[in-house]
A = this chain, B = another copy of it.
Amino acid sequence: MAAIEYERKRTFMGRIPYGEDLLASLTGFAREKGITKGRLQMIGAVQGAVVGFYDSRSGKYEDMVFDKPMEVLSLTGNISLKDGEPFVHAHITLGDDKGQSFGGHLMAGTVVFAAEFIIDEFEGKDLEREYDETTGLALWNIVK
């Protein structure tokens, strides 16, 4: 187990407009503001969603498509660096019109109906993702 200690820098509360791609918007915001380390959460609703499940045998995310309006019950995640650029890693829980819930790794293709986010920027040592042989994922290079 390895961790880095950070100071809090800026905090943002914001809204993503109707029709935008949720992951692209969050990533674009982090890059525009130069946020290289941080925490994020968001609630709202989507017009449709694409989420991933990581298949450790194939080393690939399987996409699952929800082609209907859903509430975003929870979206939490972090911002760090991948290939030198701010990278958003977020997981999402969705609720349908019967109150049942679904979710996975947030993928491109999730379209905003209404989205309210809070992002904390952290200050300190950069946190970089790199290929991890055990899992096949791009993880923080801080576990030796």
A residues near B, CB below 8 A? 1-8, 10-18, 20, 25, 28-29, 37, 39, 41, 43, 45, 51, 53-56, 62, 64, 66, 69, 71-74, 76-78, 80, 89-93, 95-105, 113-114, 116-119, 122, 127, 132, 134-135, 137, 139-140, 142-143
A71/B143 contact (C-beta < 8 A), A1-B25, A2-B14, A4-B13 known: no
A73 contacts across to B, CB distance below 8 A: 74, 91-93, 103-104
Considering the chains assembled together, what is the distance between the CA atoms of A134 and B132 in angstroms?
44
Considering the chains assembled together, what is the distance between the CA atoms of A13 and B1 in angstroms?
11
Q: Are A91 and B74 in contact (CB under 8 A)?
A: yes
Q: Are B122 and A11 in contact (CB under 8 A)?
A: yes
A104 contacts across to B, CB distance below 8 A: 71, 73, 95, 99
Shortest Cβ gap from A114 to chain B (Å): 5
